[in-house]
Structure 1
Amino acid sequence: MGEHSSVRALVESIGQSFEEFAPPSRKTSGDGPLGWPGYADQRARAAGRTDAEESVLCGRAKVGEWEAVLIAFDFAFLGGSVGEDTGARIVAAFEHAREQRLPVISLVASGGSRMQEGIRALQQLQAISRACLLTRQDRIPHVAVLRDPTTGGMWASLGAAADVVLAVPGARIAFGGARVRSAGEDGDTFRAEGKFADGQVDRVVEEPELPSALAELVSLLHPARLSRPAEPAPVPDALAAGSPPETGMQAVERARAAGRPRAGAYLDAYFASRFEISGDRAGGRDEGMICGFGDHGGRTVAFAAQTGSANTPAGFRTAARLIGLADQLGIPVLTLVDTPGAANDAESERTGIGPAIGEVFGAVAEARVPVTTLVIGEGGSGGALALAAPERTWVTADAYFAVIAPESAAAILKREPSQVPELAAHLKVRPQDLLDLGFARGIAR
């Protein structure tokens, strides 16, 4: 066996009983559509080194307990580059996934389009992008694993088009490869860790952990597991016992208490297992917004949970992305509300805090799947309301919700600090007030 055996070994480590698809009819012969001198010999030598006819290996296998379609790139075959025959194999693999309703896992390691085939190779980006889109429209999940390197068109058309994007540590990931970038530009910006920090990759996963991570994702997102139509996510149990607060200021103080149960505790209690996704795919991450998918009573539920901080535009865009993805796949959503309000510093304004909050409002309003909300702490104005589901919001006894914080109300009205408790009472922020005013459906017990 040639170097291709390492790619087959990777595939077989991720999926059991791998069955390779019969490739589509070949389109490229001789020196290719451009008549590139020596191209036929280059392909022949690559085939000899790798024991493969092309730069991708496509087939189906069991990933954990569920079947999936695998697309694996072999960088040893002409740098994992994509020509007409490569593109045809990738498109055919996506078609098989749609016909059989199987998730797609792309294991990418590619330098981009094959220059020896010119525009014919470049056109494959359009065909692959369309295959990804049709698969998404059919509510079939696509997970990409970015290996070293992932550059050019396969990052833009295949990797970045996936619903969930993983990367191996240290992988070089960039639209422009190292040989064509501006001189001297390098560093984490062009590697997996930088892409994770910039919100373009959901998680960096060590290679030995890939099989278990992919098995968990396939289990949670497999179309055969998801019911139609999606049933609402059950309301989580309250983690802190007690009666509702007597006064508005007491409600605010209890919600701000350091020892109050936070989102992490609620997620741990609610889910048997969960897989977090991260980043807004546009340059940012916010650790104050936890998003992902989890197993609750044998069902998959998506979640977007605020952790008590003032969320940034990246946090809201990540939540909007999560809700949109859940709606696409037919997965019910649980949101946990806990924020003093949206971030209001200059950087948040510059990066679009208003439009980002608007994206979440739109995602909740547009969702065809049911969204269930539990307010577990502070409900600070629009930054909290964006994640609250109309008609399906509950609140715990140690939470409040307000159009504005009572301290801010005092500042606007030019009142003394001593009048803050009075304003908290006027704002009707207690859980029982929210129930009486028709905002909440109930107080979680």
Structure 2
Amino acid sequence: MPEHASARAALGLVCDPGSLDELPYGDREDAGSDGPLDWAGYADARARAAERTGERESVVAATATVGGTGTVVVAFDFGYLGGSLGRGTGDRVEAAHEHARRHGLPVVSLVATGGSRMQEGMVALTQLQRLARQSALTRAAGLVQIAVARDPTTGGGWATLGAGADITLALPGAQIGFAGSRVRPADTDPTAYGAESQLAAGAVDALVAPDALAEAVGGWLRLLAPGRAATLPAPVPGALGRTDLPDTGQEAVRRARAPERPRADAYLDAYFSFRRELSGDRAGGTDDGMRCGFGEREGRTVAYAAQCGTATTPAGYRTAIRLLRLAGRLGVPVLTLVDTPGAANDAAAERAGAGAAIAGLFAAVAESPVPVTSLVIGEGGSGGALALAAPGATWVAPDAYFSVIAPESAAAILKRPAEEAGTTADQLRLRPQDLLELGLVRGIAKRTGEQLFA
């Protein structure tokens, strides 16, 4: 068993030294009983677990500071009956969430569990509903929840506190999955239940080594703890590339496609002093061409969703939806950077629900309770780009364009020769100055410190 398997060791990896203050639980006075099912030997098993671990239940709940941020922390002790969830576990987790809501604190769950406790039967299983309700109430209160999936994190603990958190980190090599090792099909691929596979499948945001947990969790809390959000819309980033305007539509397209044009990473690095990325759509996919996360700008937090110049996949759109919804719930303004030749349109994208994913992003932007600011930094290719652009709050960089369709595709649809793509680009009026004249953008971005065209 890893040295960080105990609750106290896990807390020591994350919490600031000397800051831990265990919550009063009001534990049930039934330590000598065999539980709600009168399961023979259950009392003895709990007594042995208590002697082995020094704990009276499978979780420890406390207040602490993590990276200087006040937090409620819930840590599972795998040595106590496999970190299983029983009625007493539910009592403690509920007390932790109630304390968090009462004092406006984020919740960090350090999960290591094999699932529901067999000796309590359905009484144990229904604790999952109880945990889900507490998580929902904390979510509704606008408080962030961060989970660290330790080894192992399986069963209902994964399906509630782990996978249900706003940000989910995992220890490298940890066993993670709904199905525990003893109930999986005999011929299943064991690697599917590892932290690395869960990261690739979009269920985990990052793998973090034990000695880096304090910094990782503290960084997220620094960005997402209450009071960190800006109240005004995110400022428009300054242009990083060319600032002169193109003479023709074909020149606008050529500039946007130039390999040397600044991409999303350059804009994000220039815009933020500190940032953290989330990963995955929580539905089985990731898209390296969509950067989503939260960053610090002038002491305040701004969320971002940024296309990186590739065709955006359904997983990319769903990850952006996840980002927008989390930002809206936490009251954090959003910056989007538009740069894609269009949505992925191959068979794999259709099977993954491209239309529904794009529709969902259009809706998430339209329904956002926080202001969304958009800047087109490269190619604005059709609806796959427009879905990430905020109506009435979109700017365009001088070396970018926005079009109903790529000029080459427009020429093909109109049955024109390929050499007429340039003429078609002019007719589409896709240059930054065309978009401004047509009232489709608020302005053309200039370098930082220079005035926007408007």
Question: What TM-score bracket applies, with the shorter chain setting the length?
Answer: over 0.9
Query: Where does residue 311 of structure 2 map in the other structure?
Result: 310
Instruction: Answer yes or no: is the 8 Å Cα contact 2:202–2:282 preserved in 1.
Output: yes
Sequence identity percentage? 59
**Secondary structure, aligned partner of 2:20:** strand
**Secondary structure, aligned partner of 1:315:** helix
Q: Distance between the aligned counterparts of 2:341 and 2:442, measured in 1? A: 22
Q: Distance between the aligned counterparts of 2:440 and 2:163, measured in 1? A: 39
Residue 231 of structure 1 and its aligned partner are, at CA, apart by 1.2
**Secondary structure, aligned partner of 1:12:** helix
Residue 5 of structure 1 and its aligned partner are, at CA, apart by 9.4
Q: Distance between the aligned counterparts of 1:414 and 1:378, measured in 2? A: 23
Query: Where does residue 396 of structure 1 map in the other structure?
Result: 397
Instruction: Answer yes or no: is the 8 Å Cα contact 1:337–1:377 preserved in 2.
Output: yes
Instruction: Answer yes or no: is the 8 Å Cα contact 1:310–1:341 preserved in 2.
Output: yes
Query: Where does residue 222 of structure 2 map in the other structure?
Result: 219
Q: Distance between the aligned counterparts of 1:27 and 1:237, measured in 2? A: 63
Q: Distance between the aligned counterparts of 2:241 and 2:23, measured in 1? A: 54
> Which amino acid in the other structure matches residue 170 of structure 2?
A
Range 234-243 or range 88-97, more displaced: 234-243
Query: Where does residue 54 of structure 1 map in the other structure?
Result: 57
Query: Where does residue 10 of structure 2 map in the other structure?
Result: 10
Query: Where does residue 45 of structure 1 map in the other structure?
Result: 48
Range 4-13 or range 191-200, more displaced: 4-13
Q: Distance between the aligned counterparts of 2:197 and 2:27, measured in 1? A: 40
Q: Distance between the aligned counterparts of 1:89 and 1:373, measured in 2? A: 43
Give the unaligned 5+ runs of structure 2: 447-454
Residue 350 of structure 1 and its aligned partner are, at CA, apart by 0.7
Instruction: Answer yes or no: is the 8 Å Cα contact 2:10–2:110 preserved in 1.
Output: no
> Which amino acid in the other structure matches residue 294 of structure 1?
G
Runs of 4+ in 1 over 3 A off after TM superposition: 3-6
Q: Distance between the aligned counterparts of 1:22 and 1:172, measured in 2? A: 31
Over the residues paired in the alignment, what is the CA RMSD in angstroms?
1.2
Correspondences of 1:258-273 after superposition (within 5 Å): 258-273=259-274
Query: Where does residue 161 of structure 1 map in the other structure?
Result: 164
Aligned CA distance change for structure 1 residues 240 and 60 (closer, same or farther; 3 Å)? same
Aligned CA distance change for structure 1 residues 177 and 5 (closer, same or farther; 3 Å)? closer
Query: Where does residue 420 of structure 2 map in the other structure?
Result: 419
Aligned CA distance change for structure 1 residues 96 and 429 (closer, same or farther; 3 Å)? same
Instruction: Answer yes or no: is the 8 Å Cα contact 2:4–2:10 preserved in 1.
Output: no
> Which amino acid in the other structure matches residue 22 of structure 1?
P
Query: Where does residue 300 of structure 2 map in the other structure?
Result: 299
Instruction: Answer yes or no: is the 8 Å Cα contact 1:147–1:168 preserved in 2.
Output: yes
Give the unaligned 5+ runs of structure 1: none
Q: Distance between the aligned counterparts of 1:75 and 1:442, measured in 2? A: 56
Instruction: Answer yes or no: is the 8 Å Cα contact 1:28–1:85 preserved in 2.
Output: no
Residue 24 of structure 1 and its aligned partner are, at CA, apart by 2.5
> Which amino acid in the other structure matches residue 113 of structure 2?
S
Instruction: Give 2:98's match in structure 1, choosing from 95, 99, 105.
Output: 95
Residue 243 of structure 1 and its aligned partner are, at CA, apart by 1.0
Q: Distance between the aligned counterparts of 2:201 and 2:385, measured in 1? A: 24
Q: Distance between the aligned counterparts of 1:78 and 1:70, measured in 2? A: 20
> Which amino acid in the other structure matches residue 191 of structure 1?
G
Q: Distance between the aligned counterparts of 1:28 and 1:335, measured in 2? A: 54
> Which amino acid in the other structure matches residue 308 of structure 2?
T
Query: Where does residue 80 of structure 2 map in the other structure?
Result: 77
> Which amino acid in the other structure matches residue 365 of structure 1?
A
Q: Distance between the aligned counterparts of 1:322 and 1:358, measured in 2? A: 15
Q: Distance between the aligned counterparts of 1:4 and 1:318, measured in 2? A: 31
Instruction: Give 1:135's match in structure 2, choosing from 133, 138, 161.
Output: 138
Q: Distance between the aligned counterparts of 1:5 and 1:236, measured in 2? A: 45
Instruction: Return the TM-score normalized by structure 1.
Output: 0.97
**Secondary structure, aligned partner of 1:429:** coil
Instruction: Return the TM-score normalized by structure 2.
Output: 0.96
Q: Distance between the aligned counterparts of 1:4 and 1:429, measured in 2? A: 57
Instruction: Answer yes or no: is the 8 Å Cα contact 1:294–1:301 preserved in 2.
Output: yes
**Secondary structure, aligned partner of 2:237:** coil
> Which amino acid in the other structure matches residue 408 of structure 1?
S
Query: Where does residue 370 of structure 2 map in the other structure?
Result: 369
Q: Distance between the aligned counterparts of 1:28 and 1:258, measured in 2? A: 69
Q: Distance between the aligned counterparts of 1:304 and 1:4, measured in 2? A: 35
Instruction: Answer yes or no: is the 8 Å Cα contact 1:290–1:305 preserved in 2.
Output: yes
Q: Distance between the aligned counterparts of 1:140 and 1:221, measured in 2? A: 8
Instruction: Answer yes or no: is the 8 Å Cα contact 2:5–2:151 preserved in 1.
Output: no
Instruction: Answer yes or no: is the 8 Å Cα contact 1:28–1:84 preserved in 2.
Output: no
Residue 225 of structure 1 and its aligned partner are, at CA, apart by 2.2
> Which amino acid in the other structure matches residue 370 of structure 1?
P
Residue 4 of structure 1 and its aligned partner are, at CA, apart by 9.4
Residue 226 of structure 1 and its aligned partner are, at CA, apart by 2.8
> Which amino acid in the other structure matches residue 219 of structure 2?
E
Q: Distance between the aligned counterparts of 2:188 and 2:126, measured in 1? A: 28
Residue 399 of structure 1 and its aligned partner are, at CA, apart by 0.1
Residue 21 of structure 1 and its aligned partner are, at CA, apart by 0.4
Aligned CA distance change for structure 1 residues 80 and 423 (closer, same or farther; 3 Å)? same
Correspondences of 1:125-274 after superposition (within 5 Å): 125-227=128-230, 230-274=231-275
Residue 220 of structure 1 and its aligned partner are, at CA, apart by 0.2
**Secondary structure, aligned partner of 2:320:** helix
Q: Distance between the aligned counterparts of 1:253 and 1:27, measured in 2? A: 74
**Secondary structure, aligned partner of 1:304:** strand
Range 64-73 or range 23-32, more displaced: 23-32
Residue 187 of structure 1 and its aligned partner are, at CA, apart by 2.8
Query: Where does residue 451 of structure 2 map in the other structure?
Result: none
Range 350-359 or range 184-193, more displaced: 184-193
Q: Distance between the aligned counterparts of 1:185 and 1:99, measured in 2? A: 45
> Which amino acid in the other structure matches residue 20 of structure 1?
E
Instruction: Answer yes or no: is the 8 Å Cα contact 2:60–2:75 preserved in 1.
Output: yes
Deviation digits for residues 319-376 of structure 1 (CA, Å, limit 9, x no counterpart): 0110011001100000000000000000000110010011110100110100000000
Deviation digits for residues 375-396 of structure 1 (CA, Å, limit 9, x no counterpart): 0000000000000001110000
Instruction: Answer yes or no: is the 8 Å Cα contact 1:286–1:315 preserved in 2.
Output: yes
Residue 420 of structure 1 and its aligned partner are, at CA, apart by 0.7
Q: Distance between the aligned counterparts of 1:186 and 1:150, measured in 2? A: 17
Aligned residues: 441
> Which amino acid in the other structure matches residue 391 of structure 1?
G
Q: Distance between the aligned counterparts of 2:151 and 2:61, measured in 1? A: 19
Q: Distance between the aligned counterparts of 1:191 and 1:218, measured in 2? A: 26
Q: Distance between the aligned counterparts of 1:423 and 1:226, measured in 2? A: 44
